[in-house]
Amino acid sequence: MNVKIVKRKFVGTFVALGAILALTGCGSSSTKVPSAVVVPTNVLTGLPGSNGPVLFVKIDDTLPAHPQIGLDSADVIYIEQVEGGLTRLAAVFSNKLPAQIGPIRSARISDIDLMANYGRVGMAYSGAQTLFLPVLRASNIEDIGADTEPASIYARDPVRTAPTNMVLNPRALLKKSIQVEGRQIATAKSVGWNFGPLPSGGALVKSVTLKWPAATYKAAWSATLGKWKMTYNGAPDLAADGVRLGSPTLLIQEVSITPSIYHDHTGSYTPFSNTIGSGTGYLLRDGQEIPVFWSRPSATAPTTWTLKDGSPAYFHPGQIWVALTDQQPNFTFRPSGTPVATTSK
């Protein structure tokens, strides 16, 4: 387990210690120094936190699904392309579970490789295409989707309309799956990224626009919030609790997106985003854009991110968004020499 060492704070330690020594007559050589406190670090965010069971959740990303529920508690959020050029989100939770997550939607073929990065995860989803479902269930997952669980766990939100009204109770789901049924769900482990100081050589960026055939995201740097504020299809991207969605680290992973053998009821083919192999991309952090390379030799291997010279590309601690795209991003750069307040650690 990755850990950070911090010193325990003792109010009035030295005053109390002096009084004890005066009463006992003991010298300082016999004084016991308070031991350090071991603070666990979540390996997916680099922040203090636990490395709990990994819950992989599929979330609708159409306009009727917004504002989405619980995303601000996720460790990692992937943006995937689905049928019709729309996007869908895959959110990873291992540290903090919100009371609800949603709206829950169905799984896609690209999810199998994404999940393999994390081990045998618990997958929360609302179903899958008929031909694809047995393939999904044969993969290395614990199937805890809506088809296997009661309506008390996968409920319908009365203020939303189908198909964007299914909401998950993640705490009840994991409690039932692990404590009652004894399912073996992997705990969080490193998936290949490193946290550290801001790499040199970055370009100052005001914002970036990411496009899919039927969806557009924009991320604008906010030094005040210390993160890239997300905009979805021209509107501020807000969680249901009012939090502006975004993250200190935004990864743009350039992948090949090709038609798979699966399709929906209208005949629209499901795109497959290939996250195995190698490619290029961009690391956005601290108001800067840094070209990077990614490499992942197999489904079970971690994805390593490196700079041009082969050294590690360090991420900023915090939630991470990964945009899987085959289109070049459009950057709006700041003038050279413009000061940018950063949150570099």
Contacting residues for 24 by C-beta, under 8 A, at least 6 apart = none
Q: What is the pLDDT of residue 163?
A: 95
Q: Which helix (H) or strand (E) holds 140?
A: none
pLDDT tens digits for 261-319?
998 888 899 999 999 999 999 999 999 999 999 999 999 999 999 999 999 999 999 99
- What's the pLDDT at 37? 75
pLDDT score for 93: 98
Q: Which has the closest alpha carbon to 44: 345, 299, 303, 255?
A: 303
The alpha carbons of the chain give a radius of gyration, in whole angstroms, of 23
Q: What's the CA gap between 71 and 48, in Å, rounded?
A: 19
Q: What is the pLDDT of residues 22-42, one digit of tens each?
A: 333 444 445 565 667 777 999
Say whether pTM exceeds 0.95: no
**What pLDDT is stored for residue 107 in this prediction?**
97
DSSP string for 87-127: EEEEEEESS---S-BB-B----THHHHHHHTTSSEEEE-S-
Binned at pLDDT 50, 70 and 90, residue 89 comes out as very high
Any idea which residue has 């308070």 for tokens? 34
> Which of 333, 196, 320, 326 is closest to 258 using CA atoms?
326
The per-residue pLDDT for 341 is 47
Q: Is the pLDDT of residue 70 over 60?
A: yes
pLDDT for the residue 314? 98
Q: pLDDT of 112-166, one tens digit each?
A: 999 999 999 999 999 999 999 999 999 999 999 999 999 999 999 999 999 999 9
Residue 187 clears pLDDT 50, i.e. is over it: yes
If one compares 13 and 116, the residue with the highest pLDDT of the two is 116
- Strand pairing class (330-333; 203-212): antiparallel
> Going from the N-terminus, what domains does the chain have, and what CATH number goes with each?
3-40 (no CATH), 43-345 (3.50.90.10)
> Rounded CA gap, 124 and 134, in Å?
16
Higher-scoring residue by pLDDT: 334, 96: 96
Nearest to 127 by CA among 141, 140, 108: 108
Q: Dihedral through CA 318, CA 219, CA 278, CA 88, nearest 10? A: 90
- pLDDT, tens digit (0-9, with 9 covering 90-100), for 215-271: 999 999 999 999 999 999 999 999 999 999 999 999 999 999 999 999 888 889 999
The reported pLDDT for the residue numbered 265 is 80
CA distances from residue 337 to 333, 334, 340 in whole angstroms, order as listed: 11, 8, 9
Query: Which residues have C-beta within 8 Å of that of residue 304, sequence separation ≥ 6?
Result: 192, 193, 294, 295, 296, 312
